[in-house]
Chains A and B, each alone.
Chain A
Amino acid sequence: MSEPMFRLPTAPAGPWDQLTDNEQAWIEFIRVISGGRDPRVTPARVRALRELLDAG
């Protein structure tokens, strides 16, 4: 039997260990502050993200 009992699904970004430490930190922080609600990507949120990155 070579198949594991179950396989955790992964999204197109690929396995977690292929994200950089910084990317993992961003995602983990979003999970914490959103209370695990898996927030959608919306134009307003993307604008806010770009503004905060532009601000440095």
Chain B
Amino acid sequence: MTNPYQNTATARLITDRIRDLSHRKTQAEIASEAGFGNANMMTFLKNGKNKVPLDRVPSLAKALEVDPAYLMRLALDQSVGATAAKAITDIFGTPTTENESGWLIELRDASDNSDPRITARSRAALRGVFGK
């Protein structure tokens, strides 16, 4: 198997972000900004030949302009597998993205800090708001 990480959520995110940023920065510039000495590394990450090195997540997230907590979640899954990633996040806590922090603020504000339970009705409504 030459591309073991092909079509992982991480590879898809990196592919999408490189495309979205292509009018402002080249793939080589993103690689350099992320601290990769080899400019081909972004191609390897896109096609799943390589996995994202966990120690590069902060710089790569900055270069790709994505939330570092979000990229860390995906990179952990890619790196150690879903089961081990779950064990790690169970111990250290799930990293919360900036968007999720925004949702918590809105939830607290809209509910007057009443800590609302998520009901069957609210689940159905949320599917309409966030679902595909």
- Enumerate chain A interface residues (CB-CB to B < 8 A): 6, 8-13, 15-17, 19-20, 22-23, 25-27, 29-31, 33-36, 38-41, 45-46, 48-53, 55-56
Contacts and interface: CB of A to CB of B under 8 A. Distances in A.
Contacts of A31: 100
Contacts of A29: 118, 123, 126
B23 interface: no
Contacts, number: 117
A6 to B, nearest CB: 6
B100 A10 contact: no
B37 interface: no
Given A38-B97, A48-B129, 6 more contacts: A10-B95, A11-B67, A22-B115, A26-B118, A49-B110, A51-B125
Given A6-B55, A9-B95, A10-B96, A38 B106 contact: no
Interface in B68-98: 68-70, 72-74, 89, 92-98
Interface of B: 9, 54-55, 58, 67-70, 72-74, 89, 92-107, 110-111, 115-118, 121-123, 125-132
Given A22-B116, A29-B123, A38 B99 contact: yes
Contacts of A53: 107, 110-111, 116, 122
Contacts of A6: 54-55
